[in-house]
Amino acid sequence: MRYLEEFQDPALAQRLLADIRATVTRPWALMEVCGGQTHSIIRHGLDQLLPEEIELIHGPGCPVCVTPLEVIDKALEIAARPGVIFCSFGDMLRVPGSDRDLFQVKSAGGDVRVVYSPLDALRIAQDNPQRQVVFFGIGFETTAPPDAMTVHQASRLGIRNFSLLVSHVRVPPAIMALMESPTCRVQGFLAAGHVCSVMGTAEYPELAERYRVPIVVTGFEPLDILEGVRLAVRQLERGEAKVENAYPRAVREEGNPAARAMIEDVFEVTDRAWRGIGTIPGSGWQLSEKYREFDAERRFSVGGITTVEPAECRSGEVLQGLLKPHECGAFGTVCTPRTPLGATMVSSEGACAAYYLYRRLGTGAPAAAGGSAAVGSREVSSVG
Amino acid sequence: MCLAVPGKVLEIEERDGTRMAVVDFGGVVKDVCLEYLPDLEVGEYAIVHVGFALQKLDEESALRTLELFAEIGALQEEFGDPWVSAAEAAAGGEEQR
Ligand code: SF4
């Protein structure tokens, strides 16, 4: 079974596109929640292949992008301390803090290590009992179970020199915040498939009903995304607003109960600030009382840091779908992946980096005619 | 990093009281924790994120979805405008390379 290639089949993609074209009668704005989906959409030029009535708004679902500056600064401060081994996923290295990034901390002598899994950080803690090992725990509901399990293991195995700098975020409260905003243009959501692989779909019917908005659980391959769009558009054209699952091979209604139970044991819901957006009530997780001794913020007393965002960076608007990346004055000039002003330019899942990487420097609106879509895609293939 | 990717289980073993697997991601092989999917067996596919298997990939459902996509197109071919479909197919074949 080849789960990847088959869901990239160009002939089937054309069939889905034809069905969407036959269904759509007027303009609709859909938001793909997850940065992984944004990346896939831009990489494959899907936004340019869709009928011009359909606008895809890029959502805030890139954990690297929404991790608040305060937390980055706390990470930098902890990482610079002698005796600390600071472990992180690679895409946090270049995220700009107030005056430096993790990469620079490392160049200045800090022991910063890139790991594939939080369990690798735990192993490093076991191997270095005299050092303090901190793992940078950021991410959505997909990353929460791995981090929860790692803290649970640290506790079970009595590894006391390990701690977690936690900045976990949850999708449903963010959808709520977006829909409550007076500037919101979103009429339908492509919900993040892998978040739902863990959490299931139980949190969404209430939101679909309250905001009269279709929510379609969507995967990441081109066909998955087109199917998400197809189902969302079909609902909108029919005046429906319900939860549908366009990614059944990886998402069951109940999610992963074991992972959810572990999250509930290790974490508790808290208010969380999102970079560029602000504080969203109940949108985060922090360590529960039972595991609080593993909280790096407490262990290193870095509670008091406050910060200011660079004024030129408009990533807040980008993250809310109010602005396309290339409409930012700094895009591609002052701000590039080498010299990022905002986190959306750093992470490969950030909308600004996706636009930069796939050369969406020119006209903003999705291509109107088939001709320009082909041009867009050719540019894409020349890059990738 | 938010990306989770499907991989195939090659081996399963107990390590430090934790169920671990060796998983193949199209040639790249990694250690993966199975604590959240204890029933996963060798030869099966799962969605893996930062070293943890989070959900089993259901082959039957994948095949059903692909069949559905093929049917959708069949209807379009039957009732759609053949010139439009032909133009799209030509453009599409080129674009998707
Ligand atoms: S292009 Fe750079 S400065 Fe502009 S919004 Fe994106 S990250 Fe911020």
Range of A85's domain? 64-170+255-299
Find residues 9-48 of chain B whose CB sits inside 8 Å of chain A.
16-18, 26, 30-31, 33, 35-38, 45, 47
The answer to whether B55 contacts A251, with C-beta atoms less than 8 Å apart, is yes
Cα–Cα distance measured from residue A222 to residue B14, given in angstroms and rounded to the nearest whole number: 37
Q: Kindly give the residue spans of alpha helices, DSSP state H, lying in chain B.
A: 59-79, 82-95
- This model of the complex carries an ipTM of 0.84
The neighbouring-strand residues paired with A164 are A135, A295
Rounded to 10 degrees, what is the CA torsion of B83, B89, B92, B97?
Answer: -150
By DSSP bridging, strand A162-169 and strand A278-287 are antiparallel
If asked whether residues A74 and A148 sit together in one domain, one would say yes
Q: At what angle do helices A257-266 and A144-157 cross, to 10 degrees?
A: 60
Mean pLDDT lowest among A95-104, A249-258, A341-350, B12-21: A341-350
Report the C-alpha gap between A57 and A8 in whole angstroms: 22
Helix (H) or strand (E) holding A239: none
Query: pLDDT tens digit string along B54-91?
Result: 999 988 888 888 888 888 766 555 555 555 555 666 66
Decide if B89 touches A, using CB distance below 8 A.
yes
Residues with CB under 6 A from ligand 1: A 312-315, 318, 325, 328, 330-331, 335, 340-342, 344-345, 352
Q: For strands A111-114 and A84-88, give the pairing.
A: parallel
pLDDT of B18-35, one tens digit each? Answer: 899 999 988 889 999 999
* Ligand 1 centroid distance, CA of A317 (Å): 10
Helix (H) or strand (E) holding A189: strand A188-192
Give pLDDT tens digits for A354-367: 899 887 665 443 33
Residue A340 lies in a domain: yes
Number of CB pairs, chain A paired with chain B, less than 8 A apart: 174
C-alpha of residue A378 to centroid of ligand 1, in Å: 25
A343 shares a domain with A265: no
Regarding whether A157 and A79 lie in a shared domain, the answer is yes
CB contact under 8 A, A116 and B61: no
Give the ligand 1 atom nearest the CA of A318.
5
Lowest mean pLDDT among A88-102, A210-224, B39-53: A88-102
Same domain for A113 and A165, yes or no, is yes
Which tokens sit at A83?
């005796």
Predicted pLDDT of residue A95: 87
Q: Per mean pLDDT, which of A163-167, A304-308, A374-378 is the most reliable?
A: A163-167
Sheet of A28-34, strand order: A54-61, A28-34, A188-192, A215-218, A243-245
Chain B: give the shortest CA distance to residue A137, in Å.
Answer: 11
Fold of B5-96: SH3 type barrels. (2.30.30)
Q: Is the pLDDT confidence value at A21 over 90?
A: yes
Sequence-distant (6+) residues with CB within 8 A of A219 are A7, A193, A225, A227, A228, A246, A247, A249, A250
Q: Find the residue in B nearest to A261 (Cα).
A: B36
What's the confidence (pLDDT) of residue A366? 38
Q: Residue A161: CB partners within 8 Å, gap ≥ 6? A: A125, A128, A129, A130, A131, A132, A133
Tokens describing residue A225:
């995304």
Residues A110 and A85 grouped into a single domain:
yes
Domain count within chain A: 2
Q: Which helix (H) or strand (E) holds A72?
A: helix A69-79
* A71 and A157 part of one domain: yes
